[in-house]
Structures are given as C-alpha cells and as structure tokens.
Amino acid sequence: MSDHVASWYAATANSHQPWPQLAEALDVQVCVLGGGFTGVNTALELAERGFSVVLLEAHRIGWGASGRNGGELIRGIGHGLEQFAGQIGQEGILQFKQMGFEAVDIVKRRIQRFDIQCDYRPGYADLATRPSHLHALEEDLKDLQSLGYPHQLKLLDASELKQQVVKSDFYVGGLVDEGSGHLHPLNLVLGEAEAAAGLGVRIFEQSAVQKIHKGERPRVETALGSVTCDRLVIAANGYLDPDLEPWLGGKLLPAGSYILVTEPLGDEQANALMPGGHAVADLRVELDYYRFTPDQRLLFGGLCTYSGKDLPDPSKHLLPHLHQVFPQLLDVKVAYQWGGMLGIGANRLPQVGHLPDCPSIHFAQAYAGHGLNASHMTARVLAEAFTGETRRYDLFASVRHMTFPGGKWLRGPLLAAGMSWYRIKDRFGS
C-alpha cells in the first residue's frame, strides 16, 4: 500500500482503495480529525447512533501508530490507577478497570460483526525478568480474580513458562491471559474504516487540517476544502501538530517505538520458541514485546525514544534485545524494520475531554503504548457523551493532566532525562 511506512503490515495489508481528498465545503454534525483507531471508531460509533460524520486523515487510514504497533490486544486502561484515588475514588478506579475488560471485548465483537480479516488469535502473557516482577504478577492475578475477570488466567514459574509460552532462560515466570491476544492492526483499522463508510461516514485521506476555527460550531480548513460541524473530535494522538492546538499538544509527548520482523522461521522453530502462540511483553521500563505472525516470522518490538525523530536503523538497537531472549537466533535475518510515534501523557492515563476555551471541540489521546484496546473504549465513551450518556466521559474528564514543561522543543529531552533515572533503577532492581 502506498504512503504507508514500509512495514510487514503494509506488505500484507488487505486490498483497499484510497479514499478521496477533501475538495469541497461540508456541513455535518461531527467532524473527526485522525484516521487511526480512535478517529475511525469514534466515527463508526457515532454513525451507529445516527450522526452525520466526516473523518479527515492527513495521510492514509492507519498511517500512524494504529497501523504500525505490535498488534497486542491487552486488557486494561491506564497504568497505576491507584494514583487517581484522590480524584475519582475507589469507585472510579473500579470503573476504569471494568472498562479495561470491556475495551478488549469491543474489538473482538467488531471483528466478528464486520467479518474483519485481521488474524486475531487469543493468548497473551506478561513476563517477569526478576522476582519483584513475579510478585507484581501475583498481585495482578489476585486483583483480576477479585474483579471477576471472565477469562482463563495462569501464573507460571520459570519451568512452566518455558514449556507453555517462551523457551528462554531470560524470565523467572509469567502470567498468561487467554482473554487478551494479538492481531494485524493495520488490517483491523482498514476493516473498521470500511465498516464506518458502510454506515454513512464520509472519509477523506491526504486531507491534513491546516487551521481550526473555534466557536459554537467549529470549522476546519484543509488545503482544498473545509468542514463546519456541531462537534469536532481531535484524535491525532502522537502525530498531533502541537501548533494546531497548543493547549492539547502540551498534554502529550510523542515517543518513538520500534519493531523488526524476521524472515520466516518455519512452523517447527516457531513452535519450539513460543509453543503456545501467545503475544508477550515483559515488565521492565524498557520492555520487549513480541509474537509470531501467521507466516511464522518473529515480530519483535521495544525501545522508546523522545527525540521526535525516527531511528534510522531500528534493528541495530533491537537485535541485541532479541538475542538476549533467544541467543539461538544470532544469525536470524531481518526482513522488515520500522518505527513510529505513540502519544504519552504525564500520568499514563488516556486523556478524554473538551478544550477549556471551546466545549464543542473534544479529544481523546495519550495511550502510552496501549492504545489498541483503549482507543476503542474512548471512542465509545465519546459517542455515549454525544448522546447524553456522560457518566464515563465525565469520569475521564475529571482526571487532571499535567502540561509537559519546556514547550515543544524541550519537553522531549526533559522527559528523556527523567526516564533515564527509571531505567537505571529498573536495571539494578531486584
């Protein structure tokens, strides 16, 4: 597919005709900026509720993180929810945890309803590289069980993990979750865009918004057209131009994440390395995440950079991580490598709300690398709010989000300096 990053996903994408460029003036109830999971699913949810919707994408549908990520569909929304107890109480924390389960179910139901061919496979495991991680997973298991999590969970020691999930000496145990899983994210978002269009959403690609006019009825301008609407949704996440909406851009830091995909390794070797077919990720600050693709390539991701620029040769940095996990793959050949920007907020909870100076402009962003499921949840929350069901929207909006210091040029280096402390602490932890 042209105009997508040269990834394994793009090379194996389902056939899809480009959407047109906006070249007219339109007037609708809702205009959505961003053709990733958040934007596409917000448009789809609103169309299901009878709204007239236009979606504008600056590049191609799925061009950003939604079409480049690790493809891991993992339960949960946000990190360290207890930090918000003073703002939302224990009942609010419980609601977020339940939404973390519901978010995965939304994706599964969407795949089934619209028959989206995206290689969904159940099975995911969190991996412990040290005893403290294993203790954290024990606490996670107790918490999930107390919440009535409806899927099979298994806490494994090092020996059991080798037999059932990952044949590697790098881990001391893990927690298997059969309710989470993995899929082809670009094919998912392309299928969801087709479904939205089938419900009446008008989609335009190569239609970057150049200016936003605020007011009771916002208006956006592109190079060749414009859209006036009752409500505007900004869903650009890590690729939001901070100059387009400075207040919102200041709440978000683009961070680079990277993936390599090997040559096909064959069924025998794939099953020997990862016998359960799970997707996995470890609990370190600089985590590794990986899985096998349907054609038995190892898809291996990790790293996190804050320069705002892509690494020119991601495999140079990722291969040492891969070899640490699987030293038997020292001679493996890399067939694809790519990166992209995800959006991180200071407290690592997705940000949902409206602009303080324009209540008719809404946003959802900052998934901190766990956006596949969370974006589907925030899309539903936005659609609920637009039909008067504001309980969950108000819960998200009640959480305060810090503006990153230093402006758009310094916020990345300042966060990188802060993160280096956590990396050192993580590296020498027990």
Share of the chain above pLDDT 90, in %: 87
Highest mean pLDDT among 230-234, 403-407, 420-424: 230-234
User: Considering the entire predicted model, what is its pTM?
Assistant: 0.95
Instruction: State which fold the 121-182+255-344 domain adopts.
Output: D-Amino Acid Oxidase; Chain A, domain 2 (3.30.9)
Condensed to tens digits (0 to 9), the pLDDT of residues 121-164 reads 999 999 999 999 999 999 999 999 999 999 999 999 999 999 99
Predicted pLDDT at 44: 98
Distance between CA atoms of 54 and 164, rounded to whole angstroms? 46
Comparing 223 with 285, the larger pLDDT belongs to 223
Neighbours of 41 (CB within 10 A): 30
Q: How confident is the model at residue 223 (pLDDT cuts 50, 70, 90)?
A: very high
Condensed to tens digits (0 to 9), the pLDDT of residues 174-212 reads 999 999 999 999 999 999 999 999 999 999 999 999 999
Condensed to tens digits (0 to 9), the pLDDT of residues 225-273 reads 999 999 999 999 999 999 999 999 999 999 999 999 999 999 999 999 9
CATH number of 8-68+186-252+347-399: 3.50.50.60
Average pLDDT, the chain: 93
Nearest to 281, CA basis, from 206, 365, 359, 369: 369
Predicted pLDDT at 54: 99
Domain boundaries of the chain, sorted by first residue: 8-68+186-252+347-399, 121-182+255-344
Largest CA distance in the chain: 63
Report, as an integer, the average pLDDT of 277-283: 97
Distance between CA atoms of 302 and 256, rounded to whole angstroms? 9
Report, as an integer, the average pLDDT of 281-304: 95
The DSSP secondary structure of 60-80, one letter per residue, reads: STT-SGGGTS--EE-S--SS-
Q: In this structure, are strands 358-365 and 351-355 parallel, antiparallel, or unpaired? A: antiparallel
